[in-house]
Chains A and B, each alone.
Chain A
Amino acid sequence: MPLKNPSIKLVYALIAIITQLIVSAIPASATGATPPLTKCHIQIHDAHISKYILRTQGKEAVKVNADSKSDKFIQDLRLTVEIYKIGRFTHYFITRHTIEISGFIPANSLTENQSTYEYCTNKKASRYYGIAYAEAYIKGHHFKTPRTISEHIFPINCGT
Protein backbone atom coordinates (compact mmCIF):
# COMPACT_ATOMS: atom_id res chain seq x y z
CA MET A 1 0.00 0.00 0.00
CA PRO A 2 1.60 3.36 -1.03
CA LEU A 3 2.31 5.86 1.78
CA LYS A 4 0.44 9.10 1.28
CA ASN A 5 1.74 11.04 4.28
CA PRO A 6 5.08 12.77 3.31
CA SER A 7 6.31 12.93 6.94
CA ILE A 8 6.02 9.13 7.28
CA LYS A 9 7.92 8.76 3.99
CA LEU A 10 10.65 11.01 5.39
CA VAL A 11 10.92 8.94 8.60
CA TYR A 12 11.23 5.69 6.59
CA ALA A 13 13.89 7.23 4.37
CA LEU A 14 15.89 8.44 7.39
CA ILE A 15 15.73 5.01 9.06
CA ALA A 16 16.95 3.39 5.82
CA ILE A 17 19.88 5.84 5.51
CA ILE A 18 20.93 5.47 9.19
CA THR A 19 20.77 1.66 8.97
CA GLN A 20 22.93 1.73 5.82
CA LEU A 21 25.48 3.99 7.52
CA ILE A 22 25.71 1.75 10.64
CA VAL A 23 26.12 -1.44 8.59
CA SER A 24 28.84 0.07 6.37
CA ALA A 25 30.73 1.39 9.43
CA ILE A 26 31.12 -2.11 10.95
CA PRO A 27 34.43 -3.72 9.88
CA ALA A 28 34.19 -7.07 8.18
CA SER A 29 36.04 -8.88 10.98
CA ALA A 30 33.58 -7.68 13.58
CA THR A 31 30.62 -9.23 11.82
CA GLY A 32 31.95 -12.76 12.57
CA ALA A 33 32.17 -14.46 15.97
CA THR A 34 33.21 -12.33 18.91
CA PRO A 35 36.85 -13.05 19.66
CA PRO A 36 37.46 -14.51 23.14
CA LEU A 37 38.85 -12.25 25.86
CA THR A 38 41.57 -14.78 26.79
CA LYS A 39 43.22 -17.66 24.97
CA CYS A 40 41.95 -20.12 27.53
CA HIS A 41 40.18 -23.23 26.42
CA ILE A 42 39.08 -26.65 27.53
CA GLN A 43 39.10 -29.67 25.27
CA ILE A 44 37.22 -32.89 25.76
CA HIS A 45 38.11 -36.10 24.00
CA ASP A 46 35.79 -38.82 22.79
CA ALA A 47 34.62 -41.69 24.98
CA HIS A 48 36.78 -44.78 24.61
CA ILE A 49 37.66 -48.04 26.32
CA SER A 50 40.66 -47.49 28.57
CA LYS A 51 43.41 -49.93 27.68
CA TYR A 52 45.29 -49.11 30.90
CA ILE A 53 42.42 -50.03 33.18
CA LEU A 54 42.07 -53.24 31.21
CA ARG A 55 45.78 -53.95 31.47
CA THR A 56 46.15 -53.17 35.19
CA GLN A 57 42.82 -54.37 36.53
CA GLY A 58 41.57 -56.79 33.92
CA LYS A 59 38.31 -54.83 33.60
CA GLU A 60 36.93 -52.79 30.76
CA ALA A 61 35.91 -49.23 31.46
CA VAL A 62 34.59 -46.36 29.38
CA LYS A 63 36.69 -43.24 29.85
CA VAL A 64 36.64 -39.61 28.78
CA ASN A 65 39.64 -37.31 29.15
CA ALA A 66 39.69 -33.54 29.12
CA ASP A 67 42.33 -30.86 29.35
CA SER A 68 42.55 -27.17 29.93
CA LYS A 69 45.09 -24.58 28.87
CA SER A 70 45.32 -20.83 29.28
CA ASP A 71 47.73 -18.12 28.19
CA LYS A 72 47.18 -16.37 31.55
CA PHE A 73 48.13 -17.29 35.08
CA ILE A 74 45.09 -18.97 36.54
CA GLN A 75 44.21 -19.73 40.13
CA ASP A 76 42.11 -22.37 41.87
CA LEU A 77 41.11 -24.33 38.79
CA ARG A 78 38.27 -26.86 38.95
CA LEU A 79 37.98 -29.00 35.80
CA THR A 80 34.99 -31.31 35.75
CA VAL A 81 34.18 -34.13 33.34
CA GLU A 82 30.79 -35.83 33.19
CA ILE A 83 30.02 -39.00 31.25
CA TYR A 84 26.58 -39.60 29.78
CA LYS A 85 25.12 -42.63 28.06
CA ILE A 86 22.57 -42.25 25.29
CA GLY A 87 19.59 -44.36 26.19
CA ARG A 88 16.40 -45.13 24.34
CA PHE A 89 14.39 -42.40 26.00
CA THR A 90 16.91 -40.17 27.68
CA HIS A 91 20.59 -39.52 28.27
CA TYR A 92 21.74 -41.18 31.48
CA PHE A 93 24.21 -39.45 33.74
CA ILE A 94 26.88 -42.04 34.54
CA THR A 95 29.65 -40.36 36.47
CA ARG A 96 31.32 -37.06 37.27
CA HIS A 97 34.84 -36.31 38.43
CA THR A 98 36.41 -32.97 39.28
CA ILE A 99 40.06 -32.20 39.58
CA GLU A 100 40.89 -29.24 41.74
CA ILE A 101 44.20 -27.43 41.66
CA SER A 102 44.61 -24.91 44.43
CA GLY A 103 46.98 -22.01 43.96
CA PHE A 104 48.52 -20.61 40.82
CA ILE A 105 48.92 -22.50 37.56
CA PRO A 106 51.56 -21.07 35.21
CA ALA A 107 50.46 -19.68 31.85
CA ASN A 108 50.33 -22.14 28.95
CA SER A 109 50.54 -25.22 31.14
CA LEU A 110 48.23 -28.10 30.38
CA THR A 111 45.95 -29.39 33.12
CA GLU A 112 44.39 -32.77 32.49
CA ASN A 113 41.47 -34.64 33.94
CA GLN A 114 42.18 -38.28 33.14
CA SER A 115 40.35 -39.86 36.03
CA THR A 116 36.78 -39.94 34.77
CA TYR A 117 35.66 -43.43 33.83
CA GLU A 118 33.07 -46.07 34.53
CA TYR A 119 33.50 -49.82 34.54
CA CYS A 120 31.62 -51.83 31.95
CA THR A 121 29.18 -54.42 33.24
CA ASN A 122 28.60 -56.15 29.90
CA LYS A 123 29.54 -55.98 26.22
CA LYS A 124 26.34 -54.35 25.01
CA ALA A 125 27.04 -51.66 22.40
CA SER A 126 26.26 -48.27 23.90
CA ARG A 127 26.94 -44.70 22.92
CA TYR A 128 28.68 -42.38 25.38
CA TYR A 129 29.83 -38.80 25.39
CA GLY A 130 31.55 -36.50 27.80
CA ILE A 131 30.86 -32.97 28.92
CA ALA A 132 33.61 -30.84 30.39
CA TYR A 133 33.50 -27.49 32.13
CA ALA A 134 35.86 -25.53 34.29
CA GLU A 135 35.96 -22.64 36.68
CA ALA A 136 38.94 -20.62 37.82
CA TYR A 137 40.14 -17.20 38.89
CA ILE A 138 42.00 -15.09 36.34
CA LYS A 139 43.42 -11.82 37.69
CA GLY A 140 41.10 -12.08 40.65
CA HIS A 141 37.96 -12.51 38.55
CA HIS A 142 35.94 -15.71 38.69
CA PHE A 143 35.42 -17.30 35.27
CA LYS A 144 33.32 -20.26 34.23
CA THR A 145 33.69 -21.94 30.86
CA PRO A 146 30.68 -23.05 28.84
CA ARG A 147 30.03 -26.79 28.74
CA THR A 148 31.99 -28.59 26.02
CA ILE A 149 30.73 -31.85 24.56
CA SER A 150 32.70 -34.68 22.92
CA GLU A 151 33.01 -34.19 19.19
CA HIS A 152 32.23 -37.75 18.11
CA ILE A 153 29.70 -40.16 19.55
CA PHE A 154 29.95 -43.75 18.39
CA PRO A 155 28.92 -47.12 19.81
CA ILE A 156 31.32 -48.81 22.21
CA ASN A 157 30.99 -52.43 23.31
CA CYS A 158 30.50 -51.51 26.94
CA GLY A 159 27.26 -51.59 28.85
CA THR A 160 26.97 -49.88 32.21
Chain B
Amino acid sequence: MVKQSKGSLDPRDLDQELAYFEFMAELGVKNASRYELQSQELVKNRKIELEIKNTFVRYTLDRVGCSFQVSKDGGKTFREKTWVRTGWRKSGRLSYLPLFFAQCETNVLLKK
Protein backbone atom coordinates (compact mmCIF):
# COMPACT_ATOMS: atom_id res chain seq x y z
CA MET B 1 0.00 0.00 0.00
CA VAL B 2 1.25 3.43 -0.95
CA LYS B 3 1.17 6.02 1.81
CA GLN B 4 -0.04 9.39 0.65
CA SER B 5 1.91 12.19 2.22
CA LYS B 6 1.27 15.91 1.87
CA GLY B 7 2.00 17.04 -1.65
CA SER B 8 2.36 13.54 -3.04
CA LEU B 9 0.87 12.35 -6.32
CA ASP B 10 -2.46 10.61 -6.71
CA PRO B 11 -2.53 6.83 -7.46
CA ARG B 12 -3.10 7.38 -11.20
CA ASP B 13 0.11 9.43 -11.39
CA LEU B 14 1.91 6.77 -9.42
CA ASP B 15 0.82 4.15 -11.95
CA GLN B 16 2.19 6.35 -14.74
CA GLU B 17 5.42 6.78 -12.85
CA LEU B 18 5.72 3.03 -12.36
CA ALA B 19 5.03 2.45 -16.07
CA TYR B 20 7.72 5.00 -16.95
CA PHE B 21 10.38 3.26 -14.89
CA GLU B 22 9.32 -0.18 -16.08
CA PHE B 23 9.65 1.01 -19.68
CA MET B 24 13.08 2.45 -18.93
CA ALA B 25 14.24 -0.78 -17.31
CA GLU B 26 12.97 -2.69 -20.35
CA LEU B 27 14.88 -0.40 -22.72
CA GLY B 28 18.01 -0.77 -20.60
CA VAL B 29 17.92 -4.56 -20.92
CA LYS B 30 16.84 -4.66 -24.58
CA ASN B 31 19.45 -2.15 -25.80
CA ALA B 32 22.25 -2.98 -23.36
CA SER B 33 24.84 -3.76 -26.04
CA ARG B 34 23.94 -0.69 -28.13
CA TYR B 35 24.18 1.56 -25.07
CA GLU B 36 27.57 0.09 -24.25
CA LEU B 37 28.87 0.85 -27.75
CA GLN B 38 27.36 4.33 -27.63
CA SER B 39 29.08 4.95 -24.29
CA GLN B 40 32.46 4.01 -25.72
CA GLU B 41 31.91 6.22 -28.76
CA LEU B 42 30.78 9.15 -26.63
CA VAL B 43 33.75 8.87 -24.28
CA LYS B 44 36.09 8.71 -27.29
CA ASN B 45 34.56 11.51 -29.41
CA ARG B 46 32.87 13.56 -26.62
CA LYS B 47 29.85 14.10 -28.86
CA ILE B 48 27.38 11.86 -30.66
CA GLU B 49 24.24 12.61 -32.62
CA LEU B 50 21.44 10.11 -33.10
CA GLU B 51 17.90 9.86 -34.33
CA ILE B 52 15.30 8.30 -32.04
CA LYS B 53 11.93 7.79 -33.73
CA ASN B 54 12.30 10.87 -35.98
CA THR B 55 13.70 13.01 -33.16
CA PHE B 56 17.27 14.25 -33.51
CA VAL B 57 19.22 14.06 -30.28
CA ARG B 58 22.76 14.92 -29.25
CA TYR B 59 24.89 13.82 -26.31
CA THR B 60 27.92 15.86 -25.33
CA LEU B 61 30.45 15.27 -22.60
CA ASP B 62 31.93 18.12 -20.62
CA ARG B 63 34.51 18.09 -17.83
CA VAL B 64 32.32 16.37 -15.22
CA GLY B 65 29.00 15.66 -16.86
CA CYS B 66 26.96 14.70 -19.86
CA SER B 67 24.36 16.82 -21.59
CA PHE B 68 21.43 15.51 -23.58
CA GLN B 69 19.99 17.86 -26.17
CA VAL B 70 16.97 17.53 -28.42
CA SER B 71 16.27 19.18 -31.74
CA LYS B 72 12.82 20.12 -32.91
CA ASP B 73 13.85 21.43 -36.31
CA GLY B 74 15.43 18.40 -37.91
CA GLY B 75 18.86 18.76 -36.34
CA LYS B 76 19.52 22.46 -37.05
CA THR B 77 19.36 23.67 -33.46
CA PHE B 78 19.45 21.75 -30.19
CA ARG B 79 18.17 22.62 -26.71
CA GLU B 80 19.40 20.96 -23.58
CA LYS B 81 16.91 18.65 -21.91
CA THR B 82 19.00 16.88 -19.28
CA TRP B 83 22.40 17.26 -17.68
CA VAL B 84 23.92 14.74 -15.30
CA ARG B 85 27.12 14.57 -13.31
CA THR B 86 29.11 11.60 -14.52
CA GLY B 87 32.43 12.43 -12.90
CA TRP B 88 35.62 12.82 -14.88
CA ARG B 89 36.87 9.22 -14.67
CA LYS B 90 36.52 7.17 -17.85
CA SER B 91 35.49 4.03 -15.95
CA GLY B 92 32.82 5.92 -14.05
CA ARG B 93 31.48 7.41 -17.24
CA LEU B 94 31.39 4.06 -19.04
CA SER B 95 29.40 2.49 -16.23
CA TYR B 96 27.00 5.42 -15.86
CA LEU B 97 26.25 6.31 -19.50
CA PRO B 98 24.17 3.21 -20.48
CA LEU B 99 21.70 4.11 -17.72
CA PHE B 100 21.64 7.68 -18.93
CA PHE B 101 20.95 6.61 -22.52
CA ALA B 102 17.99 4.50 -21.33
CA GLN B 103 16.68 7.44 -19.32
CA CYS B 104 16.97 9.90 -22.22
CA GLU B 105 15.42 7.54 -24.76
CA THR B 106 12.52 6.87 -22.38
CA ASN B 107 11.96 10.60 -22.05
CA VAL B 108 11.94 11.02 -25.83
CA LEU B 109 9.72 8.01 -26.53
CA LEU B 110 7.24 8.78 -23.76
CA LYS B 111 7.48 12.54 -24.43
CA LYS B 112 8.54 13.35 -20.86
Residues in chain A within 8 A of chain B (CB atoms):
43, 45, 50, 52-53, 55-57, 65, 92-100, 102, 112, 114-115, 118-119, 160
Contact = CB atoms under 8 A, between A and B. Distances in A.
Contact of A98 (B17, B22, B80): B80
Contacts of A102: 72
B18 A98 contact: no
Interface in B3-21: 7-9, 13-14, 17-18, 20-21
B88 interface: no
Please indicate which of the listed interface residues A45, A56, A98, A112 has the most CB atoms of chain B within 10 Å of its own CB: A56
B85 A57 contact: no
Please list the 10 inter-chain residue pairs (A to B) with the smallest Cβ-Cβ separation, ordered nearest first: A56-B21, A96-B83, A56-B25, A97-B82, A95-B84, A52-B21, A115-B112, A56-B22, A57-B25, A52-B18
B99 interface: yes
Contacts, number: 62
Contact of B20 (A94, A96, A115): A115
A96 B20 CA distance: 18
A43 B7 contact: yes
Chain B CB within 10 Å, residue with most, of A95, A115, A118: A115
26 contacts: A43-B7, A52-B17, A52-B20, A52-B21, A53-B21, A55-B18, A56-B18, A56-B25, A57-B25, A93-B85, A95-B85, A96-B80, A96-B83, A97-B83, A98-B80, A98-B81, A98-B82, A99-B112, A100-B70, A102-B72, A112-B9, A112-B13, A114-B20, A115-B107, A118-B85, A160-B85
Nearest to B18: A52
A99 B81 CA distance: 7
Contacts of B103: 115
A112 B18 CA distance: 15
A56 to B, nearest CB: 4
Given A52-B21, A55-B21, A98-B79, 5 more contacts: A57-B21, A93-B85, A96-B83, A112-B9, A115-B103
B81 A114 contact: no
Between B7, B72, B99, the greatest number of chain A beta carbons within 10 A of the residue's beta carbon is seen for B7
A102 B14 CA distance: 24
